[in-house]
Structure 1
Amino acid sequence: MHSVIAHADALLAFVYLAIVGLVVYAATGPLSDANFWASYTQDPGPWCERDRSRAFVREPSNAFTDFSFLAAGICMIACAARDLKHLRSHGLESQQANPLGGTTQASSVNKARPLNLIRANPILSVVFGVINIVHAVGTFTNHSCRCLEGHILDVAGMYSVIYLFLCLSALKYIHGAVVLAAKEKPLTLSDATLPDRAIAAFLLCLAAGVFGLYQISQLPYSDARTAPRETLTVASMVIVALILHAAYAHAVRSRIASQPRLIVIAVLLLIAAFGLHQMDIARILCNPDSLFQGHAAWHVMTCGSLSLVYSYHRNERWRTSETSQ
């Protein structure tokens, strides 16, 4: 496991390039006239972009912009690899410790690097990366096939990415209220390192939520309940995550230094993305053959919003024994 995680960034970069090459080949090569998706349940979305009905990638702009989530996922796993390498190089990890989290015997940290849950528990970045990559595959499939199977994967992936941030906000609130707010002494790495049972509980809660969200992602685009349900589900999870984050930030306001402007920018970017998404559906400024599509912009901008939130959490700085001096 150590060597796999340590080289995950290079490995996934290779996989990323391989996927891009295969998709480009499929879109322009023998599959372009093969109607590859004929056996799937057709479920065209309400997007402006013209349907290339016999191409492998039927909505090129909408589909290829989904690689932004793939790139984000790769970067997150690369961050996990760097954090793990840093923990090892500074002797902060015991030989018995879980390489992705768990108990550690160290109490000192590098002053130049922030101390927080994300950096002290690389498993969290790995989970973020994997879910973003899965979402990228799902939404790319949706816009390539215009089929119900792809639509379900797309929506379930979108829900899962947002739900993951909600779970992280809940984890940070519980951890902050129990550990950070109650501790009078300066914080150390052992305060940031989650025990195995906490990591297991987090992953179990995440898995249960993702399973439930998958179950409510089965409606086709043609169902009138689809758009309201998707909007309500996303908005509800975002609001709950923001409330939990605000409660956490208030509880530990004297113990952390953060960049709240990143959250503000992320929310504004998400709102702007939703506006372009709705304009695309309403055919406002619609050009079906243009490279610029409102829904494609939604992909890139929502990925940017999620990446800003991840960056906020990863660069939050706890006041430690070193920074308190």
Structure 2
Amino acid sequence: MPTAVLSRLILQAGVATILMLIGWAGLDKTLTASVWSAMKVSQSALTVEYCEFNHPQRFFHQPVNTYSNLAYFFFGVLILLVARQDNRYRTSHTPNRLAGFPLLSALMGVCFIYLSIGSAFFHASLTYLGQRVDMNATYSILLTLLGITGYHLGHRIRLSSTQQWLWIAAVLVAIGMFLPLARLVPSARLVPALILLLNAGMVIHYAQFRAQRSIWVVLLSLVLVVLAIYIRTLDVQKVGCDPYSFFQGHALWHLLTALSSFCSYCFFRFNKTPASLAA
């Protein structure tokens, strides 16, 4: 994809994110916490899991942790725009395998936006329902990335249009299955397991296509997520905690995990060689 086209898509995603920010700010200004009053409070709220102060009178109970989810929104819109671009110029000889499967990129973008809204819902309401949606959206990102990984590991297989839809359906079924599974297995086990599986798959694919893939993108994605987990742990343990500060550890977790997930997507979508990047 030419740099000029990618720059235009980034600008469009930035504008969409600013508009969403304005919309969220309007909701926070207009509505009150009474919207959430009929919902069950989450265990996270009862134990004061995160550092940021809970503003019980505001629509956004934790404003910084809520607004920071716009990072996921930005990357989600950007990936959707890439998917639209790929679909518009797709050919049977597309050099990048993921560019030839825009539906999978579109699902990735939708999952980013799902996490943006789901996590914002949780931090705005601190409800049990919000927490469940937030976690399922988190799993949706990881499962879709694993779906992309599996698609590339089977690089000798060319999927027909019908088979591509079936691949998308399989990923969606897996996301749905994680709704009950997440209640049985702690996220402290599931999330690291999925992250390790994803990175193992990327390393294997790198070994298959060294000329087209960059190991530095894999390492960057891993470093970012490890740093995010470390900062989230400090936030939960209230290390250096200032509940009223604009800078919150969990908000940084949102930014770093969004960047890490986007790096994982870029590893597959953008080839290392200039000729392939232009496709």
Is the alpha carbon distance of 1:12 and 1:39 closer, same or farther for their aligned partners in structure 2, counting shifts above 3 Å?
Answer: farther
Task: Report if aligned partners of 2:16, 2:77 keep a CA contact under 8 Å in 1.
Answer: no
- 1:246 deviates by 2.5
Matched residue, 1:204: 169
- 1:316 deviates by 2.1
- 1:81 deviates by 1.9
- 1:12 deviates by 7.6
Runs (5+) with no aligned partner, structure 1: 1-7, 93-103, 110-114, 180-192, 220-224
Which of 48, 52, 64 is the equivalent residue of 2:51?
48
TM-score normalised by the chain length of structure 2: 0.86
Matched residue, 1:234: 191
For 2:27 and 2:274, the matched residues in 1 are separated by 52
Which of 56, 75, 78 is the equivalent residue of 1:75?
78
1:83-127 deviation line (CA, Å, top 9, x unaligned): 23333xxxx3xxxxxxxxxxx4xx4x6xxxxx2112122112111
Cα root mean square deviation, aligned: 2.7
Q: Which amino acid aligns with 1:126?
A: A
Q: Which amino acid aligns with 2:98?
A: I
Matched residue, 2:133: 153
Count of residue pairs the alignment pairs up: 265
For 1:56 and 1:137, the matched residues in 2 are separated by 14
Runs (4+) off by over 4 Å: 8-18, 317-321
Greater C-alpha Rg: 1
Matched residue, 2:4: none
Paired-residue identity, %: 18
Which of 118, 123, 140 is the equivalent residue of 1:143?
123
* SS of match in other structure, 1:119: coil
For 1:70 and 1:279, the matched residues in 2 are separated by 25
Which of 121, 129, 135 is the equivalent residue of 2:109?
129
Q: Which amino acid aligns with 2:177?
A: G
Is the alpha carbon distance of 1:12 and 1:303 closer, same or farther for their aligned partners in structure 2, counting shifts above 3 Å?
Answer: closer
Task: Report if aligned partners of 1:170, 1:241 keep a CA contact under 8 Å in 2.
Answer: no
What are the residue-to-residue correspondences of 1:123-272 with 2, within 5 Å?
A: 123-175=103-155, 178-179=156-157, 194-218=159-183, 229-253=186-210, 256-272=211-227
* SS of match in other structure, 1:120: coil
Runs (5+) with no aligned partner, structure 2: 1-8
Task: Report if aligned partners of 1:9, 1:81 keep a CA contact under 8 Å in 2.
Answer: no
Is 2:89 aligned against 1:86?
Answer: yes
1:58-100 deviation line (CA, Å, top 9, x unaligned): 001110000110111000011112223333xxxx3xxxxxxxx
Q: Which amino acid aligns with 1:28?
A: K
1:111-151 deviation line (CA, Å, top 9, x unaligned): xxxx2112122112111111111111100000000000100
TM-score normalised by the chain length of structure 1: 0.74
- 1:41 deviates by 0.7
For 1:121 and 1:215, the matched residues in 2 are separated by 29
For 1:247 and 1:12, the matched residues in 2 are separated by 32
Q: Which amino acid aligns with 1:55?
A: R
